Structure 1
């Protein structure tokens, strides 16, 4: 039985998908986002290994809170790095009538095998994806995260082609992603997609800085302030095409 490398669990999440969510944070991520607030999830190793049934049995204790819209969200880290576990977890979740959601940056996406076959299988049991657009510009994306975004945008196109519902999330960082031209280019890309149900602007905050310091990793956004309400509203307006 495949087991998932678990970082932590939140039993009553209200911001990671529709309704009230049981959120599973998995270990492992290849991106090194400068603003990451979960840098302690980068390491793929975990002392907490659980089977899908163990997680679902635990999750269902809270099912009465979910209502009609709630369910399970798997986040990270990057959950797609544990795709075999995700397939098994979501397949069993659908057998129990549980709504399923993935919070992902799509970083591992590729049309090469064996990943693509597994991703197609996973989508059969996935109701919604919350997908990050870290940065629309390729070079800036590399500077911000350490990796390019070509395959990520290909993943967006594939999800649009199969009409899989997504919410898009964009972290607004002053001096990095808070630029009207970049925001307009991001909107132009969003307009090429047919499956976007919601767009969220997440204001940058430095609450993850202490984790970098604890891990002995230099925090490269030291001193960067959170964006003003005006800039957040401006980004929301541009990204939603208003």
Structure 2
């Protein structure tokens, strides 16, 4: 993975030339974690969730980003287009929560796909799925959908929000036949209860459009960011899952006929 770049501020007087802009935290190139192949990933600022295990708390607030135009981001991605294509990758719009800024997100996905000819992915919690227009989804080749828990009270505890909007968005994606990778963070003592995993797995398998499930082991790599922001890391002292715990979670998804990695 390359060094993360923070965007430069949009030059004064550029508004007339660059009508679509928004709050952008950063961008980088990544491999294997934000969709297939090597990808140009744009991290938008702002998120309606407050996940206890968030590893990028610096993206939670839109004010922490830099006002940046879609032109600037697409121009940056263009520099890597041939390399990305050769590596079987594409472009991903992530966050924060990209659907908090649906106009910028839709513009980026459209231009990545049609102007640069790249495979496109949307990384989202699904909580704001009703903000995704049909046009935005038509320009999205793959949705990376976080389903953080099946247990409703636990979901509220983990995120501060309700689960139902995410499930509704997942069903809409299934009706559209849109390819989805589900992502599930395994947190010992919180999300690792077999019944909780079973619920996520059964729902995911019922959709028919999920081609992969990423079981993501909880980690504490973002703890320093919480501290730098003057905030206490909510899951301080929580252990990372063992290899056996991760394997057991994957086995539950596999039993439902899902490809789990």
Fold-level similarity (TM above 0.5) = yes
Separation of aligned partners in 2, 1:38 and 1:105: 14
Label 1:12 to 1:33 Cα distance change in 2 as closer, same or farther (>3 A). Answer: closer
Alignment of 1:93 onto 2:112:
yes
- Structure 2 unpaired stretches of 5+: 1-18, 257-261
Label 1:47 to 1:86 Cα distance change in 2 as closer, same or farther (>3 A). Answer: closer
Separation of aligned partners in 1, 2:155 and 2:29: 32
Name 2:124's counterpart in structure 1: 104
Q: Deviations over 1:95-125 (max 9, x none)?
A: 2212111111011123xxxx3xx52120111
Name 2:221's counterpart in structure 1: 207
Misfit runs of 4+, over 3 Å:
none
Alignment of 1:190 onto 2:204:
yes
Separation of aligned partners in 2, 1:6 and 1:17: 20
Name 1:166's counterpart in structure 2: 180
Equivalences for residues 19-168 of structure 1 within 5 A: 19-46=37-64, 48-66=66-84, 67=86, 69-96=88-115, 97-110=117-130, 115=131, 118-168=132-182
8 Å CA contact retained: 2:227, 2:233: yes
CA positional deviation for 1:237? 1.0
Q: TM-score when scaled to structure 1?
A: 0.93
Q: TM-score when scaled to structure 2?
A: 0.86
Separation of aligned partners in 1, 2:102 and 2:255: 34
CA positional deviation for 1:68? 6.1
Separation of aligned partners in 2, 1:13 and 1:6: 21
SS in 2 for 1:240: helix
Separation of aligned partners in 2, 1:172 and 1:103: 18
Name 1:220's counterpart in structure 2: 234
Alignment length, in residue pairs?
236
Name 2:7's counterpart in structure 1: none
Identify which range, 59-68 or 94-103, moves more after superposition: 59-68
- Structure 1 unpaired stretches of 5+: none
